[in-house]
Structure 1
Amino acid sequence: MAGPLHVPVLPTRPHAADAYRRLHPDVQRAVAPLWTLPPHAGLPPSALAVALEKDLAVVAQVQRYSPAWFDAPFADETQTGAIASILRKAAATGPLRLVTGPGRPLAQQVSALETALRSGNGNGIGVRVRVPGEWDFAVTEQVRDLLGRAGPTLRVDLLLDMAGVLADRPDAGKEALRALDALVPLAPWRTVATIAGGVRPATLDMVDPGLREEPRTEWEMWREVADSGRACLPLLTYGDYGVLSAAALARDARSGNGGPPWGVLRYTTERSHVLVKTLAKGEGRIAHNRAAAQQLTALPDFRGAVAGAAEVWLRDCASGVGGTGNFGTWNWVGNAQHMTYVVNSLRFEQ
């Protein structure tokens, strides 16, 4: 594989930054996140600017030395000024690479390209191409036009975002290959990442009976691509949405009334994502959450505390040491163990 081993799509949120920060340095060096700004719909310009500054600050605290991407895919045309400003600041923040893509507002494309060209830092730009369904060959010309405006001197990364790849998309691997066949010849890409979200949003009926196993459909798609024999395979790197659904990133950043009374702890195995319900409030919360951690640590696939910080937390929670967490804790634990496992799995394949 060229480039990083793993490209996880992470929201610009403290729990995601915690997950990345807590990775073992050797694993962290193999991970290049695609940091994604959430929607900030309806905010006046001054409030939007403050929100975007906070988002960038979360990333800047942890992304100081290794390359990563910084994207604002949900911004609309009314937010052009604030987005242009935050992109300029992101381009000056360490090794962050800006992102644009076909189908974005023209002002966003222009702002990202011009900022990347003017920065002169060599970070280049990511071209994020979303394929939520069947591959549309008209997108090829849109990407070709975007690359023409980027010019020959700007280094470019292809981020092929297949969005949610669940059981209802059995042809996702074939669609990814069609997209790669069309897009890879367009440029001397520095990185070519295929990204898929294989986790569906958790519902109460999924986790109420106890442990729930969901197939790793994102990994199945990757295996189909990796086993295809295509000439572009040496260029490819693996990406996913971690343990959160692809739809989760599209939720507005402003929270509701404190969230639901329950959450989910997730653990990644070779073939599945294992889910168990946690409680965020109510009588018996602590005992319930320790029992949830015990169910995960009792799995034959549990990798033990030597695996990383997430496993240490699960072991401690299961044994009665420390707290039992909240939504942020459960998210960082899930993503940290997942990124560690993915990196180690990919290393084993090399």
Structure 2
Amino acid sequence: MRPHAVAAFKDLAPWTRDRTAPLWTLPVMTAGDADELQQAVRKEIGRVAAVQKYTPGWLDAPYADLDEDPCATLLPFYWSHTALRPVTAPDLPAAHQAAAADSAQEGGNGLGIRVRLPHGWSEERGENTAALLSRVGPEVPVDLLLDLQTVLPDRPDAGKEALRALDALVPLTPWRTVAVLSGAFPDQVDRLLDRDRGEADRTDWETWHEVRLSGRSYAKAVRYGDYGTLPARHLGRAAGGGERSRFGLLRYTTDRSFLLARFWAEKRGETGVTREAARWITEAPEFRGGPASSGELWYQRCAHATGSQGTGNAGTWNQVGNVQHMTYVVRCLQGRAV
């Protein structure tokens, strides 16, 4: 739930946006007092609610304290009175689970259950999920969001881990949606770069195909989800937190990899390095051209613009990278990739 993510979703073409169900996650929120915290939470969620009016999406708040205001009041309101479906998890406090379940019953939009699987599956996770489902009740539609989190090449068994989890979780209830989520953008890109250019494998994409081709009775019904072009670890960062990198990074999603173009961005008074990075992307054989999405169009304009026209900042680069990525993924899933 960052400004660049909201801007990316808003910038999607209608055909793509209508086929996308975002899982918005409220970041860690810090404030001096309860009033400041209330304003901050309202601002974050309100920005999302404004663009998520007509199609459903999920709103997860794993870091919020639902025992106390303002979250105890604000979150049930948004969960019950907007298109944002509530999300809870088997490892969250009882107060969080109860508030999300009550909101799902009141709002009638169903409940997302996000089962995090950063490592291997354990029977305890299955038992905790079953216990949560028993508290929710059979009248509430439920969505299974199996979150593998980071799936890089050093996790070759991620597909098997997902299948083991799904084998245990799918029979627990008639899920309305079953989705597998993961992130494959690397935490550190230095080892992948040669003179600030390189590629990263889309390991999560391979993992999802492994699930779909597993032959399981539920396999063809599993939906695809990912973290976009940022590392999965960014999810736990506080709003406005984290040190700003001295480097900028342009990302472009191809069939099996992310193209990476890094450049020096600290105190830059010169936009040439950004344009060089954009040109490298536009000259790649996999580049699909401006008509493919507004992301591709931005890369073209950045690569070839002259004079005083700006090249954006980190928020811009994250936004256009995700627009390009999301558009391409949706078209691939619909069998219409170009």
TM range (shorter): over 0.9
Quote the residue 2:76 is aligned against: 88
Query: Paired residue for 1:343, among 308, 330, 335?
Result: 330
**Pairwise mapping of residues 43-54 of structure 1 onto structure 2 (< 5 A)?**
44-54=33-43
For 2:180, the aligned partner's letter is: T
Quote the residue 2:311 is aligned against: 324
**Pairwise mapping of residues 66-77 of structure 1 onto structure 2 (< 5 A)?**
66-76=55-65
Matched, 1:180 2:166: yes
1:342 Cα shift?
0.5
Matched, 1:127 2:117: no
Instruction: Please give the per-residue CA displacement for 1:225-257, whole angstroms capped at 9, x wherever unaligned.
Output: 111011012321001111011101111113356
Structure 1 runs of 4+ off > 6 angstroms? none
Instruction: Please give the per-residue CA displacement for 1:5-35, whole angstroms capped at 9, x wherever unaligned.
Output: xxxxxxx111001111111111111100000
1:74 Cα shift?
2.3
Query: Paired residue for 1:39, among 28, 46, 53?
Result: 28
For 1:19, the aligned partner's letter is: A
Matched, 1:242 2:228: yes
**Pairwise mapping of residues 1-350 of structure 1 onto structure 2 (< 5 A)?**
12-41=1-30, 44-76=33-65, 80-119=68-107, 122-203=108-189, 206-207=192-193, 209-255=195-241, 259-283=244-268, 285-320=270-305, 322-348=309-335
Distance in 1, matches of 2:32 and 2:85, equals 26
- Checking the alignment, whether the CA contact within 8 Å between 1:80 and 1:108 is kept in structure 2 is no
Distance in 2, matches of 1:104 and 1:41, equals 19
Unaligned residue ranges in structure 1 (runs of 5+): 1-11
1:81 Cα shift?
3.0
Distance in 2, matches of 1:36 and 1:256, equals 17
Quote the residue 1:4 is aligned against: none
Distance in 2, matches of 1:44 and 1:132, equals 33
For 2:320, the aligned partner's letter is: V
Distance in 2, matches of 1:238 and 1:300, equals 26
1:41 Cα shift?
4.7
- Checking the alignment, whether the CA contact within 8 Å between 1:131 and 1:161 is kept in structure 2 is yes
Instruction: Please give the per-residue CA displacement for 1:242-296, whole angstroms capped at 9, x wherever unaligned.
Output: 1011101111113356x22222110001111111113433345301101110001
Quote the residue 1:7 is aligned against: none
- Checking the alignment, whether the CA contact within 8 Å between 1:13 and 1:58 is kept in structure 2 is no
Q: Which has the higher contact order (CA 8 A, sep 6+)?
A: 1
Aligned-residue Cα RMSD (Å) equals 1.9
Distance in 1, matches of 2:39 and 2:190, equals 35
For 2:12, the aligned partner's letter is: L
Distance in 1, matches of 2:43 and 2:258, equals 31
Counterpart secondary structure, 2:58: strand
Distance in 1, matches of 2:180 and 2:146, equals 5
1:89 Cα shift?
2.5
Unaligned residue ranges in structure 2 (runs of 5+): none
Distance in 1, matches of 2:336 and 2:180, equals 17
Instruction: Please give the per-residue CA displacement for 1:92-134, whole angstroms capped at 9, x wherever unaligned.
Output: 4432101001110111111111122123xx2111000000101
For 2:255, the aligned partner's letter is: E
Distance in 2, matches of 1:213 and 1:206, equals 6
- Checking the alignment, whether the CA contact within 8 Å between 1:65 and 1:94 is kept in structure 2 is no
